[in-house]
Structure 1
Amino acid sequence: MSLLSSILYPAPRLHESRLKNRFNGRWVVVTGASHGIGEALVRRLMHYGANLYLLARSEPELQELCREARAMGCRASYRCVDLRDRLALNSVCGDLAKTLPSVDFLFCNAGKSICRRLVDAADRLHDFDRTMDLNYRSMVALSLTLLPALRRTGGQLVYTSSVSSLYPPAPKWSAYHASKCASNVWCRTAACEWHSLGIGVHVAYLPLVRTPMSQVNPNYHALPAYSAHDAAGILLRLALSKHFAYKPWWAWVTAPVASFLAPFVRFFYQKAAR
């Protein structure tokens, strides 16, 4: 790791014994569990002895993760599902309500990223539907379904967002940023309403993470980034904290400045978009 990377992306500090004590024997639901951050998160959770209910589209990977978890003494189940499919999502929600009477942690990690100019999306409304359905609607549906189960345990909801949603919106990312910002606002509302129920709500404004999804964009290849393993560590630490949000240290400084300078940022974006 270069000096710049280590400064911008310091490895998260975790207390392994505390994590094991907190997750051992607890029921954890993870979406987007078969690849990237979700897979890294699941592997860390099974190491801590968590019981797992996994949701993702890739059945072979889900089967292998569950096999490994059971071999380590964890209980593990999965549903192979495309959470953008509303009928399939309804089915999963019905199954979860019956299968898991109590849930300690819900990690809403499944996400879809899309980079396209609006002028090129005139006949692609489905791109916005699918992005919103996965990044926002599925999180809301699962959270509401599991509300009684989370309430029984004083459980925690952790949503994987993006640090880019803290800055003035950039060209080409309208579908992605709209879905993430909608989820951020929903989570802030839930954090207020569910506090009296004993349920914690958290948003992780993650910076760039080296995953198959992010590596599709060649512009990201040379940029510093977290590994999926470290990003999973950030989610775990946030789940055990009293803080609502995780932000990179530099976002605490630069995001307010960027907001103040938003008119100039928009002017720059307009020039760059020509």
Structure 2
Amino acid sequence: MSALDAFRLDGRIALVTGASGGLGEQAALALADAGATVIITGRREHRLASVAERIRATGAEAHVRSLDMTDSDVVRSTFSELASTVGPIDVLVNNAAQAHQADVLDVTDADWARIIDVNLTAVFTASQAFLRLREVGQHGDRPGSIVNIASLAATIGVRGQAAYVASKAGVTGLTRALALDTARAGVRINALAPGYFATDMPGDVLADEAATAALLKKIPMRRVGEPEEIGPAVVFLASDASGYMTGAVLNFDGGYTAQ
């Protein structure tokens, strides 16, 4: 196998959660470009349809499922249905997430539960569903890979985002724990920890000129990431190019956490 061939995902099926825009959309496009059949899930059906059309326009195969990641029973049944109708899932990208900006004294029990459910519990539920399907034995000798999208917030903390920071710190811990459980089972589990990207999630900061200028002073590369930059990194972790990596958390933040 050549170095470039190691990045190919031909014949494999990848499922990306939260793929209706932003980093999830770009992850799905990159996986398709690497040769994978891509299943995209989310709650904004019209946006998912648009992403699917972009994928199909390249000649790749795309499937769409509307999915509420906080409903564990629905997640499990949907994964099982997809494995039966589309084929055994080889790659799972846990990207679905929500942010919540509020002073800690203003965070309600409902706020906390919602962010933890979406950002952390859903990662566990989807990963568990993926791993149970692997036990069925339909994959042959094809390796499996889970790529969890964490955040630099798991390392540095962010003022006014207690629930989000806690949830993403949980994702990095979960990544390492699950990687140990599956290291001998042919499934690798790694995480990518993005910094600030030009997506909807940090939109309020990037919409304010002064806030953006202050933010860029904290980033050694003096810029935010472009959404399409996430795709190749996801392909790396999903493919055989990272075949000896599991339990790793890769910072992808313009040098922010290197300080």
Tell me the TM-score normalized by structure 1: 0.77
> 1:53-202 residue pairs with structure 2 within 5 A?
53-84=39-70, 86=71, 89-100=72-83, 102-121=88-107, 124-150=108-134, 152=139, 153-167=142-156, 169-202=157-190
- Alpha-carbon displacement from aligned partner over 1:177-229 (angstroms, at most 9, x marks no partner): 11111121111101111001011000112111110111133475343211110
| Structure 1 runs not aligned, ≥5 long | 1-14, 255-274
Partner of 1:225 in structure 2? 224
Pair 137,74 (structure 1): closer, same or farther in 2 beyond 3 Å: same
Residues 59 and 80 in structure 1, CA contact (< 8 A), matched pair in contact too:
yes
RMSD: 2.2
Pair 150,119 (structure 1): closer, same or farther in 2 beyond 3 Å: same
1:48 aligns with 2:31: no
The structure with the largest helix share of the pair is 1
Residues 32 and 61 in structure 2, CA contact (< 8 A), matched pair in contact too:
no
Identity, in percent, stands at 23
CA distance in 2, matches of 1:38, 1:177: 19
Residues 150 and 156 in structure 1, CA contact (< 8 A), matched pair in contact too:
no
Partner of 2:251 in structure 1? 247
Residues 152 and 257 in structure 2, CA contact (< 8 A), matched pair in contact too:
no
Pair 210,71 (structure 1): closer, same or farther in 2 beyond 3 Å: closer
Partner of 2:17 in structure 1? 31
CA drift at 1:18? 4.2
CA drift at 1:139? 0.9
CA drift at 1:17? 5.2
CA drift at 1:150? 4.2
Considering only CA atoms, is the larger Rg found in Structure 1 or Structure 2? Answer: 1
Q: What amino acid is aligned across from residue 63 of structure 2 in structure 1? A: S
Residues 27 and 50 in structure 1, CA contact (< 8 A), matched pair in contact too:
yes
CA drift at 1:110? 1.0
- Alpha-carbon displacement from aligned partner over 1:81-102 (angstroms, at most 9, x marks no partner): 2323x2xx42232021132152
Larger mean CA deviation between 193-202 and 169-178 belongs to 169-178
Q: How many residues align?
A: 232
Tell me the TM-score normalized by structure 2: 0.81
